[in-house]
Amino acid sequence: MAPSKTAEGSNQLTEAFGKELSLASRSVHADDYINSHRAVAPPMHVSTTFRYSRNPNELQPHFNVDPNSPHDSHMYSRHTAPNTTRYEAILSSLLGGPALAYASGLAAFHAMIVFLNPKRVAIGGGYHGCHGILKLMNKLNGLEQLELEDEEDLAKLQKGDIIHVETPLNPTGEARDLAYYRKKADELGCYLTVDATFAPPPLQDPFKYGVDIVMHSGTKYFGGHSDMLSGVLAVRADLAHGKDGKAGWLEGLIEERAHLGGVMGSLEGWLGVRSLRTLELRVRRQSDNTQHLVDWLGSQLKAGGNVVSDSIIKIQHASQQPEASDADSWLRKQMPNGFGPVFSLWLKSEEHAKRLPSKLFLFHHATSLGGIESLIEWRAMSDQTVDRRLVRVSIGVEGWEDLKDDLLQGLRALKVELGG
C-alpha cells in the first residue's frame, strides 16, 4: 500500500490540539497514528512480504489493506514496509512535505534526477558523490553539468532543467541563499532542488523558499549514531499529490523507487525511527557546541601569537560569512536557529592537515558526519577534489570545553612534532 494512502491519519495530533505541535513533540509522536500495537517502542519487522486477505471478496489489485491496521498495511517491502513507513511519517512531519526514504543519500539523489529527467543540472561544489551521479547520467543520456555560481552557465539552463543547491556546503559548512536561487529558477523555468543534509530541522526549512524537492543524506543527522545508511526526498506539498486524474510527484517517485530498487532496509528504518526521536536535542546541542568552538578558534586566529594561529590559517563555516553579523541578512533569516555542526579548517601545510587528526583523543579520524561523536577528517582521504591542507570537522554532543581542550593539546603536539 502506497504511503499516500496513509495521509488521512497523519493530522490527528493537529486536530486534537488545534495547532501544530513543536518539532520535538512531533519527533516523538508523528507516527503514533500508525501504531496498532500496545508496545511503546516500535517493533522491528524483517518480513519482505505480507499476506493478502483470506476473503476473496476483499481482494483488490495493488491494494492490501489490513482492516485492523489500515495505516500500516503492506504487500511487498520493495514498495513499503512497516519500519520505513513510520520513518517516513516522522520525516514528513518534520520536513514539511511528504517524504520518501531510500537506501542512501546518493540513491535519493539518483532517484530525483531520474524522476525530473533534466537535460542540464547546475550544481556547485559540495558532495563529490552527487557529481559522480551526474557523470553517470552524462554517460547514459548526455546530461550536461553546469556551474551553479557561474552566471554564464546559469544562463544556459532551460525549462525543465535543475538548479541544485547544497546548503550548507560540504565540506566547508558555508551557506547559500535559497531565495536568490528560487528567483533564478522561476526566471528560467527550472526546478529548484536542495541538499539540506548539513542543516536538518530545526536549523533550516527550505520549503519556506519554495523549493521543489528537499534531499537529505539521512545517514547523517537523521540517523545520528553512525550506524545506518539512509537517503530522503521530501516533496513540496502542492506538488505531491495529483489533480484532475494526473499522478502527483509523490506517486511518481514511489513507482520509480520500486523499479530502481533503492529502498531502505527494515533494520535501517527501525534505527531511523529511534534516532529521529532525539533529532532536535542532538542538532541543537551539536550546533551550539560548534558555534562555541568556531568563535573560540576565530578569536585565537585574530589575536595571533598562539598555538592555534601557528597552525591554522583559515576557518570556514556559515557563521564566518559576512552576512552572519547582519541580523536582517538572508543568512540569518534562512538559518535562524544556528549555523550547522560542520566546519572546515585550513592548516598551514598538507603535513599539518594530515597529522593533526592522529593527535586528538575525543575526535575520531573518520569520514562522514552528523553522529553523536565528533569526527575530524583529513578530507583528502575521501575527496580528491579538495585542497590537501583542509580538514573537515563534524561536532558531536560532547562538552565543547572538552573538545576545545582536545584541539589545544593536539595542536601543541603537532607543533612539537613539526616545529614552528
Number of domains in the chain: 2
| pLDDT tens digits along 277-326 | 999 999 999 999 999 999 999 999 999 999 999 999 999 999 999 999 99
Helix (H) / strand (E) containing 414: helix 400-418
Which pLDDT band holds residue 393 (cuts at 50, 70, 90)?
very high
Which pLDDT band holds residue 79 (cuts at 50, 70, 90)?
very high
CATH classification at residue 255: 3.40.640.10
- Among 13-17, 145-149, 358-362, the range scoring the smallest mean pLDDT is 13-17
pLDDT of the residue at 122: 98
Evaluate if residue 238 carries a pLDDT over 80.
Answer: yes
226 with 164, same domain? yes
pLDDT of the residue at 338: 96
265 with 291, same domain? no
Q: Encode 1-29 in three state secondary structure.
A: CCHHHHHHHCCHHHHHHCCCCCHHHHHHH
292 with 378, same domain? yes
Q: Do the beta carbons of residue 146 and residue 118 sit within 8 Å?
A: no
220 with 76, same domain? yes
Domain boundary among 252, 277, 302: 277
202 with 307, same domain? no
Q: Do the beta carbons of residue 105 and residue 198 sit within 8 Å?
A: no
206 with 311, same domain? no
Q: Do the beta carbons of residue 208 and residue 122 sit within 8 Å?
A: no
pLDDT of the residue at 68: 84
Mean pLDDT of all residues belonging to the chain: 95
What's the CA gap between 289 and 395, in Å, rounded? 7
52 with 192, same domain? yes
Evaluate if residue 89 carries a pLDDT over 80.
Answer: yes
53 with 24, same domain? yes
What's the CA gap between 360 and 408, in Å, rounded? 9
Say what angle helices 400-418 and 279-303 make with each other, to 10 degrees: 40
CATH classification at residue 398: 3.90.1150.10
Evaluate if residue 4 carries a pLDDT over 60.
Answer: no
273 with 347, same domain? no
Percent of the chain at pLDDT exceeding 70: 98
Beta bridge partners, 390, equal: 346
| pLDDT tens digits along 160-214 | 999 999 999 999 999 999 999 999 999 999 999 999 999 999 999 999 999 999 9
Q: For residue 9, what is its C-alpha cell?
A: 491519519
pLDDT of the residue at 2: 40
Q: For residue 291, what is its C-alpha cell?
A: 558555534
Domain boundary among 277, 305, 328: 277
The structure's pTM equals 0.94
254 with 295, same domain? no
Q: For residue 406, what is its C-alpha cell?
A: 582536545
What's the CA gap between 376 and 85, in Å, rounded? 33
Q: Concatenate the DSSP letters of all residues of 122-185 into one string.
A: EE-SS-HHHHHHHHHHHHHH-PEEEETT-HHHHTT--TT-EEEEESSPTTT-----HHHHHHHH
103 with 139, same domain? yes
pLDDT of the residue at 9: 81
pLDDT of the residue at 247: 86
Domain boundary among 220, 252, 277: 277
Q: Do the beta carbons of residue 263 and residue 102 sit within 8 Å?
A: yes
| Backbone phi and psi for residue 229, each to the nearest 5 degrees, phi listed first | -105, 140
| Backbone phi and psi for residue 38, each to the nearest 5 degrees, phi listed first | -75, -15
Residue 391 domain boundaries: 280-418
Q: Do the beta carbons of residue 134 and residue 121 sit within 8 Å?
A: yes
181 with 139, same domain? yes
